[in-house]
Amino acid sequence: MEKVVIVTGATGGLGAEIARRFGSAGARVVVNGRTQATVERLAGELNKGPGKVFGYAADVSSYQQVKAMVEATVERWGRVDVLVNAAGGTLAMLTGKADKLLLEHTEEEWDLVVDVNLKGTFNCLKAVAPQMIKQKGGHIILVSSGSGIKPGWLMSSYTAAKAGVFGLMKAAARELGEYDIKVNAVCPGLIVHERTGMYQAKIENSLRDTMLGRLSDPAEFADFIVYLSQKANISGQTFNLDSKILF
């Protein structure tokens, strides 16, 4: 694989697995996170494989920072073939505190969740689309969540933001299709890691909602992302990668 790939949120558990899978496939990968130290550490790890990797620290809630990352990628490698926006998180994941009822959210907490999950998606689309239009093709894959379709308890801000991601994905797919730019959304299901902020009862409730009685696997999810990035005739679609019935 000779594609140039940007993975936002690559220093999180799921984003790192996506970046690792693209790197092992031989892609040139930009790993994005909030701090330079963490992205450089991940880039150093991934550069031991067949791919070429460099780290770029940027906050996806800032359009100027995302735009600068895309420009740095084009300056180094001449194009952007795939952008995977894996940056995001619930209130608990973003703050380290507990998730809250809708009426207990402060305005600042609501803005934080929406800015990272929905505005961040808009910023990534807006920043990368002009380059993909110029090169007449590309694939934008948005990591969303089944919570945007079927709300969980204490998930109001996250649900609202991820529901917005689905609508934005469809609108972008319609507007960018004439330039052979594919835009899709993929829902990973529940993956427990150090930032999930889950307690055991919530995990058990999630398991009961699945048809197969197991949590999602990050390696399987990453494999699907790489697979989808190579498809030429899929756009405007949502893929659910756990066994919950959402639609």
Q: Which of 45-59, 73-87, 156-170 has the lowest mean pLDDT?
A: 45-59
Show which residues are catalytic: 158
Show the tokens assigned to 118: 């929905």
Alpha carbon separation from 28 to 16, 42, 85, 229 (Å, rounded): 14, 14, 16, 14
Q: Is the pLDDT of residue 206 over 80?
A: no
Say whether 139 sits in a helix, a strand or coil.
strand
CB 27 within 8 A of CB 49: no
239 phi, psi to nearest 5 deg: -115, 130
- For residue 54, the model assigns a pLDDT of 93
> What CATH number does domain 4-240 carry, 3.40.50.720, 3.30.70.20, 3.30.70.260, 1.10.760.10?
3.40.50.720
CB 189 within 8 A of CB 241: yes
Kindly report the pTM of this predicted structure: 0.93
- For residue 49, the model assigns a pLDDT of 75
Q: Is the pLDDT of residue 193 over 60?
A: no
The domain segmentation of the chain, as residue ranges, is 4-240
Amino acid at 97: K
Report the alpha-carbon angle 165-94-63, nearest 5: 55
